[in-house]
Each structure stands twice: as structure tokens, then as C-alpha cells.
Amino acid sequence: MKTNFSIKHTKEIAALLILLSCASEKSLTEDKHSTYHHPFPKIVVGGESTGKVSIIKDGRIYKTTQIPGAVFHQVMFSKDGKYVFAAASNQNKVYVFDGEELTLIKEIDVGEHPSHMDTDDSGQVISVTNEDSGDVSFISVSELNEIARIGGFSIPHFARYYNGFWFVANFGAPKISVVNLDKKALETEITSDLLPKCSEEQEECAFFDVSIRKDIGQGLASHSSSGYIIDFDAKNLKVNKVLTNEDKKLSQIYTELKDKEAFKTMLSPFDSIGWTIFKGGVIGYDFVARDISFFWKHEQIFSSQVGIEYPGKFFVLLQDKTNIAVINKNGALEKIIDVQGNPGEGIYHDGHIYVFVLKENATDILAIHGDGSYVKIAELDSPIAEGIHVPGAYPHCH
């Protein structure tokens, strides 16, 4: 009888210890805003002017390295996660680190003021837009060398790959340049006489970025200063439509906006919609009907260069506030998430959105679920960050 009693209570104590252990582990990764648990992916975050790069793994800061004096405009993994690439805009270099231990492998010289990077579908070539020298560097991932540098652009801001071509968004001229890397030459330009030209007073007036839906070859971009939207066929390299102030719906939206400047346009990989962020609102563009489907207006003017696509909805990072607005694909506001700091950048991966939030003395890394609940998975010891990426994430860079 005594033995049975001892065994019984030993089992109860063991079970209690397991429960306490699980509760302790849960408290490290979840907060009061969240009701779910998720195995977090490997994440890289750049420290901008601190010269730091950090890898977050298994829900904690795994490694941090620093290049003194470097200002990292963007960081990203190679497609397989083997390498981390960091564009140092003030040094005209791309640093290559090991994707696990962050040991420095190589420094690659590129053009002047490298800013944004992206990769082709194979993951073997990375584009780097060099804003001040007006060219784009192309880096071989297998060789870790610059294999081409092609010029002739006006403040190239992003270079996106589709179907054998690189589509370069010119921030200083109303055109999307199409590059044939095999020929190391410009193939053509996508533009329209309806798009306003930039001036000496406003050099950065045109395309902040260009978005391409790769499964169907649909392209979309917004002209920054005018808010005009260009719809183009990325397969045939032809313009489908340009929405200007002559469009009744866009004209009506302009009357409601205090500032018609458009920050960025993104095509959803999940729904037949393109999202364009303005100061104070978001336009939804149905690229099947080739028409504006809705306009969502915030009660205040906000500043945002980052929106993140999610199945059936869109997360708008209100970067000058402490909130993220969640809008569904019909244009209705679902939720305002208070992230208790300024949301900087983020990326979608495997059902969650990973965002860094700038606070007074630190940077929080959050995982956000589609219902708006979130988990704080790590904290960096600096309130400065720029660039966040997950291996294989879509799109590769915001």
C-alpha cells in the first residue's frame, strides 16, 4: 500500500513539474495580447546606423555582430538562409555574413549609396539599387561577386525580378526600366505621357517601388507625387491603364485626402487586389476589373512606407504612431493594433507577420497573427533598426 501511494504521488509531482515547466516556457514567448503559440522562424534584423546585424532564432536573440561605422539600409537572407546580405549605404558595400553564426565572409564593392536588395526566383542572383550613382549591381550568390553593374537609371529605388527580366523603379523619373541581365542591357521602359515628370525642387517624385504578381504577370506601381497608378502587363511589357485625376473615383478620393502623395503600391499574392498607401488612407485596386474597389481613410494623417499583405487583409504600419491598422480585402477596418512603439518594417511568412517596433531604448520584435494578436519574441538593446527578413519570405523586401 505504501509503495502504491509513493508511485501515485511521484507521478502527480512529475506531472505538476511538467505543467510548471510548460507555463514557464510559455511566459517567455507569449504576452497578454496573444492566445497562440507558434514555432518562430529564423529572423534577421539590421541595426541601421549602429552597424549591427542580429539573428533571432528559436524565439531569442541568437547572434549579433557589428561593423563599426556602417549604416545598414537593408538586410536579407539568401533564399536558402545560408548567407545574410547587408547593404551599407554609406560605404558603397554589401557585407556578406554566415546565415547562422554571422561571421563576416566577404565585402562586395557596389555603386554609390546601395539601398534595397531583392533576389531572382532561383535565389542565385541578388539585385542592389545604387541610388546616388544611378545604377544597379547584380551579385552572384554562389560566387559572392558582383557579376554586372548596369547604369542609366534615375535614383533606382527597387529592382524586382520577373520572367527573366529585372524591373527597376526609378524614383527620379516616371518610368520602370526593364533590364535583361543576360545581355547586360536595358530591354525597354514602361512609362506613359500621363505621368508627371520630376523637377529640381522635387527630385524623388516618381516610383518608390514596383510590384509584380508573379503567377499571372500583373504589374502595378504608384507615382509618388501625383498618386497616379500605372497598371501594366509584365509578360508583354505593355501598359494596361493609367489612373489619373481624370478617373472619377480617384478624383473623389483626392478631395478627401489632405495630401495626395502615394508612398507605395503592393500587389497581394493572395487576392486580386493591389494596395496603395497614401498619407491618411489606403486605396484598393482590383486588377481583374482594372478599377478602384475601395478607399479606406484614417481619421488622422499618418506616415507609412510599409504595408504587409496577408490572406484576405492588409496590415498598414502607421510609422509615426504606435499602431498597425488591419484592413480587410473589402476595405473595412478590422482592427487597430497598439504595439506600444513605432512600427518600423515587417514581413509576411507562413501565416504570421514579423515586425520590429522602435521604442525609447529598445526595439521589440513581434510576431503578429491574422486576428491581430501578437507575441513579443525578442528585444534588441537599441531603439534603431532598419531591415527585417525571413529566409524564403514573400516578398523578399519591403
Res 4 pLDDT > 60: no
182-226 pLDDT, tens digit per residue, is: 999 999 999 999 999 998 888 999 999 999 999 999 999 999 999
Asked if the bond preceding 395 is cis, omega within 30° of 0, the reply is: yes
254-289 pLDDT, tens digit per residue, is: 888 877 888 889 999 999 999 999 888 999 999 999
pLDDT bin (cut points 50, 70, 90) of residue 395 is low
Can you tell me the distance from the alpha carbon of 291 to that of 269, in angstroms, rounded to the nearest whole number? Answer: 18
Whose cell is 481619421? That residue is 299
Contacts of 1 (CB under 8 A, 6+ apart): none
**CA within 13 Å, CB half, 389:** 29
Looking at residue 30, its pLDDT comes to 39
Q: What is the pTM of this model?
A: 0.89
Looking at residue 14, its pLDDT comes to 46
CB 341, CB 320: distance < 8 Å: no
218-254 pLDDT, tens digit per residue, is: 999 999 999 999 999 999 999 999 999 999 999 999 8
> What's the mean per-residue pLDDT of the chain?
90
Closest CA to 317 of 284, 275, 287, 286: 275
Q: Which set of grid coordinates corresponds to residue 152?
A: 542609366
Contacts of 362 (CB under 8 A, 6+ apart): 379, 380, 381, 382, 383
Looking at residue 302, its pLDDT comes to 80
Backbone dihedral angles phi then psi of residue 8, each to the nearest 5 degrees: -60, -45
pLDDT bin (cut points 50, 70, 90) of residue 59 is confident
What percentage of the chain reaches a pLDDT higher than 70?
A: 89
Distance of alpha carbon 181 from the chain centroid: 24
Q: Which set of grid coordinates corresponds to residue 302?
A: 499618418
Can you tell me the distance from the alpha carbon of 371 to that of 29, in angstroms, rounded to the nearest whole number? Answer: 18
CB 75, CB 53: distance < 8 Å: yes
